[in-house]
Amino acid sequence: MIYTVTFNPSVDYIVRLSELEEGELNRSNQTEKFPGGKGINVSRIVKEHGKETLALGFIGGFTGEFIKDELNLRSIQHDFVEVEGDTRINVKLKTSVETEINASGPVITEENIQSLINQIEKLNSDDHVVFAGSVPSGHDALYARLAEHLHQQNVPFSIDAEGEKLTSTLKYQPYLVKPNKFELEGIIGRSLESVEEVVEAAKYLIEQGAENVLVTLGKDGALFINKEHQFRVSNPGGVLVNSVGAGDSTVAGFISHEDKDIVEQIKYSIASGSATAFNEDLASIDDIEALFPNVEVEKI
């Protein structure tokens, strides 16, 4: 079973309008609501790949009920810890450009965290946990805390997070870390101008404990590095429509195909991320399969 942990889920409220005039009454052309949060996005794409997934994390209020209802409609299992307060609403304003307004989310207590720890302590080495996104305010060490539990239980985990949230887990040997180039520069503390420099920076993460490193490079594709392989990966052709969830889809595509040859696993990863980027919502399996043959993987 692939478990995802979303500490701060959201209802993503999409508002489309031709032009935004500050200080004036604006009327939308179209609105949509989706269950949001990086871990939830991962679960949605894992499900598209035909794998079993269960979404964990913290949820509350009427907005939390909406998320659970939407996941039920998609036949995605969930077992959230209920908290006081409402799960946040993130507003995405889409005009000629995209503007995001993200709320902070409800307060998470130590009791809530202990409930989540009790859940993950029931997992075993046949499971896989994906951590993705932000942590609740005041709980900066939460990723490392949970990663330590999983490491002690021999449960593989992967992480898609920034800065110290990612680096604090490396000693617990994550299966996959997926920084983008900007995030990797932040970890290393300097600009990375060439492919060789990005590769060397990724090797540093391997030395610190990561098993696989996938560095996304936007329109320039990605680089994949582990102890045995170094690959440059192309992006399949397409028009960027929606950047939200593309990185989460990339992680989901990789984790969903652990049983495949490494090149095939990487191709599914990039096809999944690209298919979401080329769609209004997260990708379908048909979108992903259509792009799969167009992803090229070459040794560095």
pLDDT for 142-179, tens place per residue? 999 999 999 999 999 999 988 898 999 999 999 999 99
99 shares its domain with 20: yes
140 shares its domain with 60: yes
270 shares its domain with 156: no
Whole-number average pLDDT of the chain: 93
Q: Is the dihedral of CA 69, 71, 73, 77 positive or negative?
A: negative
116 shares its domain with 60: yes
d(CA 168, CA 164): 5
* Domain final position from 112, 135, 164: 164
113 shares its domain with 238: no
93 falls within a domain: yes
Residue type present at position 272: S
> Residue length, the chain?
300
19 falls within a domain: yes
181 shares its domain with 156: no
**What does the CA dihedral 255, 260, 261, 262 come to, rounded to 10 degrees?**
0
Note if 248 is an active site residue.
yes
Whether the full predicted model's pTM is greater than 0.95, yes or no, is no
Residue 174 has a pLDDT of 98
148 shares its domain with 192: no
d(CA 46, CA 44): 6
* Domain final position from 139, 164, 189: 164
Ranges in the chain, pLDDT < 50: none
170 falls within a domain: no
80 falls within a domain: yes
Q: Read off the CATH number of the domain in which 276 is found.
A: 3.40.1190.20
User: Phi and psi at residue 98, in whole multiples of 5°?
Assistant: -110, 125
169 falls within a domain: no
Asked whether the beta carbons of 124 and 155 are under 8 A apart, the reply is yes
Supply the Cα-derived Rg of the chain in whole angstroms: 19
15 falls within a domain: yes
* Domain final position from 164, 193, 216: 164
Number of domains in the chain: 2
88 shares its domain with 183: no
Q: Which of 12, 160, 248, 287 is catalytic?
A: 248
105 shares its domain with 134: yes
Structural domain boundaries enclosing 285: 175-300
Buried b (16+ CB within 10 A) or exposed e, 152-184: eeebbbbbbbeeebbbbbbebebbbbbbbbebb
103 falls within a domain: yes
8 shares its domain with 129: yes
Residue 3 has a pLDDT of 98
Residue 231 has a pLDDT of 97
9 falls within a domain: yes
11 shares its domain with 132: yes
150 shares its domain with 276: no
